[in-house]
């Protein structure tokens, strides 16, 4: 039987946009990434066997020969020059990705002690969007990419801004573990949209809530920051769920164009948030534009952290994930991704002096186990449920050029 694989990301846009926390989502769909191209999107991967032949979508010629396809071919050629087997390279890239994302929690938490989180978000995503701005020209030619990017950018911005607010009053280690709720939100959304919620998902959610209860009894006192962290995970879950929907419609060769619109939209919403929280500064910039330039050159701006988060923990992690998930199974990826909050907590312990305590570590372990169990076991049940009800590669979106040949909700 052929192996079907799809890459979704990001987020922690997110997430990857991933201070947004890269998550491994397992919605019930059948798909395969085009080998040798930058496929998928912003948030995770799913990989399982299927009985039906792979269905490739009819993607418009403009996408096949566009900037995305050329960049994908060049990136693939560069990867082929690296030593080791494709799977080994993929695992190494995922380890590097997890290390970068884990460090992001500490960097953002540390920056917020001396710099406004909304201003930092604006600067970070301005840098990230600028790096992918050459692909905006391709996106501008397709209204579907613009629509998808605007919607996904909205969810990404909401998730990141909520996360930033949460980090103002909660520990980075606690926030990193609470962010794992994203992988429970995705199958839940798939369930309430008509696919049904499997017993595995309900059990995982119950176990995760138990873990949160233990986590809240350890470290700093529970606060509103924990609520914002959970809200952030919900937003990122919606982003992953909607990314899967749009990825089927747009095709495998529109990844970079879509990323450029998502990041630009996230930057714009971050600018709105920064302006809303600092109306006097906004009024000054509107009346005297030169004021904005002087603000950007101020010595108080943490440019090292801005560049690190914008170029490395946002843009580079997106590219690493898209490339790695072409050659690494979802089970292997899930195990590696599970270490992200663990490494985040370890870095917070070493660099910020945060401590979870015995109850906190127990709760964190339960949250990790429940999310991993939902990924590895719950995904297979979702597929079986979908096939039992006759959902497959036929009908609707597949006939409209779905790149994945599966049913769009």
Spatial distance between the Cα atoms of 405 and 325, rounded to a whole number of angstroms: 19
Spatial distance between the Cα atoms of 362 and 307, rounded to a whole number of angstroms: 35
Angle at 331 between CA 242 and CA 163, to 5 degrees: 45
- Reported as a single tens digit per residue, the pLDDT across 196-214 is 667 877 787 778 778 777 7
Spatial distance between the Cα atoms of 89 and 152, rounded to a whole number of angstroms: 29
Q: What pLDDT, on the 0 to 100 scale, is given for residue 385?
A: 43
Residues in the chain with pLDDT < 70? Answer: 1-76, 79, 195-197, 215-221, 251-253, 297, 329-335, 375, 378-409
The DSSP code for 222 is P
407 part of a folded domain:
no
Helix, strand, coil percentages, rounded to 5, for the chain: 70, 5, 25
* Other Cβ atoms closer than 10 A to 286: 11
Whole-angstrom CA distances from 83 to 88, 191, 218, 385 are: 9, 42, 44, 41
- Reported as a single tens digit per residue, the pLDDT across 45-81 is 333 333 333 333 444 444 444 566 666 666 667 767 7
122 part of a folded domain:
yes
As a dihedral over the C-alpha atoms of residue 185, residue 186, residue 192, residue 194, rounded to 10 degrees, the angle is -170
Q: Count up the domains in the chain and report the number.
A: 1
Are the beta carbons of 21 and 321 closer than 8 angstroms? no
Q: What pLDDT, on the 0 to 100 scale, is given for residue 267?
A: 96
- Residues 6 or more apart from 308 whose CB is under 8 A from it? 107
Q: What pLDDT, on the 0 to 100 scale, is given for residue 6?
A: 32
406 part of a folded domain:
no
201 part of a folded domain:
yes
Q: What pLDDT, on the 0 to 100 scale, is given for residue 335?
A: 66
404 part of a folded domain:
no
409 part of a folded domain:
no
Q: What pLDDT, on the 0 to 100 scale, is given for residue 187?
A: 75
Whole-model pTM: value is 0.69
Spatial distance between the Cα atoms of 315 and 179, rounded to a whole number of angstroms: 20
Q: What pLDDT, on the 0 to 100 scale, is given for residue 129?
A: 96
List the domain range (segments joined by +) for residue 38.
3-399
Whole-angstrom CA distances from 127 to 121, 124, 139, 351 are: 10, 5, 19, 26
Q: What pLDDT, on the 0 to 100 scale, is given for residue 271?
A: 93
392 part of a folded domain:
yes
Q: What pLDDT, on the 0 to 100 scale, is given for residue 112?
A: 87
Tokens of 55: 């269905």
76 part of a folded domain:
yes
Are the beta carbons of 9 and 44 closer than 8 angstroms? yes
Spatial distance between the Cα atoms of 299 and 304, rounded to a whole number of angstroms: 11
């Amino acid at each position: 039987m052929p192996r079907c694989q799809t890459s979704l990301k990001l987020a922690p846009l997110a997430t990857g946009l991933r201070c947004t926390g890269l998550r491994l989502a397992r919605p019930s769909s059948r798909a395969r990434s085009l080998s040798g191209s930058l496929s998928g999107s912003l948030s995770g991967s799913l990989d399982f066997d299927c009985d039906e032949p792979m269905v490739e979508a009819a993607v418009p010629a403009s996408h096949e020969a566009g900037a995305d396809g050329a960049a994908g071919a060049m990136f693939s050629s560069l990867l082929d020059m690296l030593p080791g087997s494709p799977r080994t390279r993929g695992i190494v890239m995922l380890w590097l990705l997890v290390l970068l994302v884990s460090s992001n929690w500490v960097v953002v938490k540390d920056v917020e002690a001396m710099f406004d989180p909304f201003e930092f978000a604006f600067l970070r995503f301005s840098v990230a969007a600028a790096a992918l701005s050459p692909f905006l020209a391709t996106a501008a030619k397709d209204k579907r990419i613009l629509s998808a990017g605007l919607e996904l950018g909205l969810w990404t911005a909401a998730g990141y801004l909520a996360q930033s607010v949460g980090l103002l009053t909660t520990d980075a280690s606690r926030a990193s573990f609470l962010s794992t709720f994203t992988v429970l939100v995705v199958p839940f959304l798939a369930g309430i949209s008509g696919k049904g919620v499997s017993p595995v998902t309900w059990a995982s959610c119950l176990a995760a809530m138990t873990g949160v209860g233990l986590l809240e009894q350890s470290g700093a006192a529970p606060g509103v920051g924990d609520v914002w962290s959970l809200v952030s995970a919900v937003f990122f879950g919606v982003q992953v769920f909607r990314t899967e929907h749009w990825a089927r419609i747009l095709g495998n060769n529109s990844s970079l164009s879509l990323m450029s619109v998502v990041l630009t939209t996230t930057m714009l919403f971050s600018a709105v948030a920064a302006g809303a929280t600092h109306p006097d500064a906004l009024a000054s910039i509107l009346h005297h534009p030169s004021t904005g330039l002087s603000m950007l050159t101020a010595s108080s701006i943490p440019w090292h952290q801005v560049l690190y988060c914008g170029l490395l923990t946002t843009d580079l992690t997106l590219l690493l994930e898209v490339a790695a998930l072409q050659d690494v199974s979802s089970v292997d990826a899930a195990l590696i991704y599970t270490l992200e909050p663990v490494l985040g907590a370890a870095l917070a312990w070493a660099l910020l002096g945060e401590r979870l305590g015995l109850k906190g570590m127990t709760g964190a372990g339960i949250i990790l186990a429940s999310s991993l169990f939902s990924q590895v076991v719950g995904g297979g049940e979702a597929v079986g449920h979908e096939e039992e009800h006759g959902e497959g590669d036929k009908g609707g979106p597949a006939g409209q050029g779905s790149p994945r040949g599966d049913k769009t909700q």
